[in-house]
A and B are shown apart, each in its own frame.
Chain A
Amino acid sequence: MIEFKNIDYSINGKSILQDINLTIAPHEFVAVIGPNGAGKSTLIRILLNLIEDYEGEVLIEGRKNTGWLKSNRIGYLPQNESFDRQFPATVTDVALMGLASSKKAWQRFSRQDKQRAREALEQTGIPHLGSERIGNLSGGEWQRTLLARALLTGSHYLILDEPEAGIDKPGVVSFFDLLADLHKKGKTIITISHDLNMLNKYCTFLVCLNRTLHCHTQTELLTAEHIHSTFGDGLKLIEKDY
């Protein structure tokens, strides 16, 4: 279970998130929706302790996130993970990052670790790309690499920041099918998304955010008013036409 309690966050006096109280039950497939600048990524970054100077408290399985994250991992897929396209890393190198915390500094990745990485790449549908340079990947292949890395952490939680960015429609569908499969196998998934059609089909719980929380509810209980209060009249902008 993940709990956000009275979260307030502002930068230079400008409020980014205000009075966020939210509980995410285990095994949900949560979608966080909201217009650009609504604070969706900020909320995720607070959860992951990538932002520290906020007010309020975040609890993961009853413990403060800072403490919990010291001994546990979360499978995280950042939005636009920045890297140099010339960086000399392969898909396997990036996936193995998910296992790095279980190794001492001087320990190399073992044959078993590499086997596990192969299995994770197989699970995400890219077993043939293990030794491909990351600079040569398409958007979809890159997201699948990051998903393999997240799976290798062994975490029950998968957190994705706009995973559909940079993927074509068939790619998005098969990626969400993959997530749905992982959800069935017991993962708690939180994804930020703009694609309402997609979310309706896959997600079990919806969080509407626009600086403050406009709704947090089971997907089937979502009303048009919730969406309108979150997005205002800008709704047409977020229904993607591929």
Chain B
Amino acid sequence: MLYAILCYHDEAVVNSWTKQQDDAVLAKRHKITDKLAAAGKLGPVARLMPTTAATTVRSGREPLVIDGPFAETKEQLLGFYLVDCASLEEAIDAARALGREETGAFEIRPLRSFIPPSEMFKPRSERK
């Protein structure tokens, strides 16, 4: 089963980390994702910009464009991992390992469908 592991954290705290602290958290998480990748279980991973950079488009007859994230919550959605796990238990283990020594929460959401990026897909920043 494919699972999305959605990362919810207090962005005011995450934003006040120093570069060293941020790097330390990433390094710690990389140990987990490297293992998943080596086992062929890691899909796309994304880290989102702070919610102040977000824009919400509310659909309707006249779609409304609003500054800010969809939900004003204590913790914000700051990123996600896509993993291929044999069971929910395995996905929970992965989330536990990712969040070791952290606060915040991980929502594990099984995927209904997944369209892998096409050969053509290349982020603008990586185009020559």
Partners in one complex: no
Which chain B residues have a beta carbon within 8 Å of chain A's beta carbons? none
